[in-house]
Structure 1
Amino acid sequence: MNTLPAGELLALFLHFLTLSLLSIGGAMSTAPEMHRYFVVERGWIGDADFTTAIALAQAAPGPNVLFVPVLGFQAAGLPGAAAALVGILLPSTLLSLGVSRWGASRRDTPLVRAFTAGLAPVTVGLVFATGWLLALPFLGDPAHRNGALVLITLTALVTLRTKLAPIWMILVGALLGAAGIA
């Protein structure tokens, strides 16, 4: 665990403050930008630590935003976790409260319907980019490539054709990974 100077901690907070406003579809949709910031630009953590933080948070019960304080903790301990979590939650929470109150009274207007319909493809694209980023380390490794491709394909098919809860696919992937199959 690292400790960051106050200026870096403020930069971390401000970065997550900005990401909060871009996180249409949840914090997970901004994971590629978080990866760029934490791993590539700042070098605070490595690829494996980043992927592990997301995997642990997704396996844990609760909201998918749980990986954000884990990343902050890996970079700067408890102050980093607090800065990342408050930064990602504060603007989006305030904006959501304001917009939902405004939109509830105007839900049948063409503007609100168009806005809602327009967010759907943006959300799908951001979630797809996150999935791609998380799959790249496995697809790039010849020892895991075939298993990863099979697992990704099966997960996509099961998701599209059934109403099976995602936790079961995560469990199967974890078991296959622990067994060294995927």
Structure 2
Amino acid sequence: MPPSILELFLRFCLLSVMAVGGASAVLPEMHRQIVEVNGWISSAEFGTLYAITQAAPGPNVLIVSLIGWKLAGITGAIVSTIGMCGPTSLLAFGVGKLWDRFSHSPWRTAIERGLAPITIGLILGSGCLLVQTAGEGWAIYALAGASAFASYYSRQNPLWWLAIAAVLGMALF
């Protein structure tokens, strides 16, 4: 059973507050809520929607709009996007004012250093989830690992590595 507009809005408001590092940081929780807990779409559909948003120009938050559109049409897309962007924007505005006020505080440095590994961990979790939705087997994990390694250690645009991985993935699978 598809969600109500209010349920969709509230679900993305909650995810918004947890999204330290953007929508990609909460991708595993988004998948868990949308696919596993509520069964609104399948894991394959989730992976496809994410792939579309990564191929399209624009921010990573487009996944939210596509999920909303899939579940409740254009109204769902708008409500989901507002739910994901609204609370975070208000929170960022308030924190930004405080951040500037305490620019020389040792707490600010401690918070920055503490949030960096959390954000990296959340994004790595998102990557692991996406690899799992692509299929099973050592070749998929090796291809994902090689792409991540090449993206990190090379000065090339990461889209080149993703394109190469996509071609290899189609050839191998």
Residue correspondences, number:
173
Counterpart CA distance in 2 for 1:75 and 1:56 is 16
Which residue is equivalent to 1:153?
145
Query: Deviations along 1:45-96, whole A, 9 cap, x unmatched?
Result: 1111100111110111111111110011111111111111000000111111
2:163 pairs with one of 165, 171, 174: 171
Work out whether residues 3 and 77 of structure 1, in 8 Å CA contact, stay in contact via their aligned partners in 2: no
Work out whether residues 3 and 76 of structure 1, in 8 Å CA contact, stay in contact via their aligned partners in 2: yes
The sequence identity of aligned pairs, in percent, is 36
Work out whether residues 9 and 79 of structure 2, in 8 Å CA contact, stay in contact via their aligned partners in 1: yes
Which residue is equivalent to 1:116?
112
1:1-182 → structure 2 map (5 Å cutoff): 4=3, 8-140=4-136, 145-177=137-169, 179-181=170-172
The TM-score normalised by the length of structure 2 is: 0.91
Counterpart CA distance in 1 for 2:159 and 2:132 is 22
The letter of the residue matching 2:50 is I
Counterpart CA distance in 1 for 2:144 and 2:16 is 28
Could you say what secondary structure the match of 1:64 adopts? Answer: coil
CA spacing shift, 1:108–1:130, aligned 2, 3 Å: same
Could you say what secondary structure the match of 1:154 adopts? Answer: helix
Greater than 6 Å deviation, 4+ residue runs: none
The letter of the residue matching 1:130 is S
**Which deviates more, 37-46 or 146-155?**
146-155
Deviation at 1:157, TM superposition (A): 1.5
Deviation at 1:176, TM superposition (A): 2.5
CA spacing shift, 1:164–1:101, aligned 2, 3 Å: farther
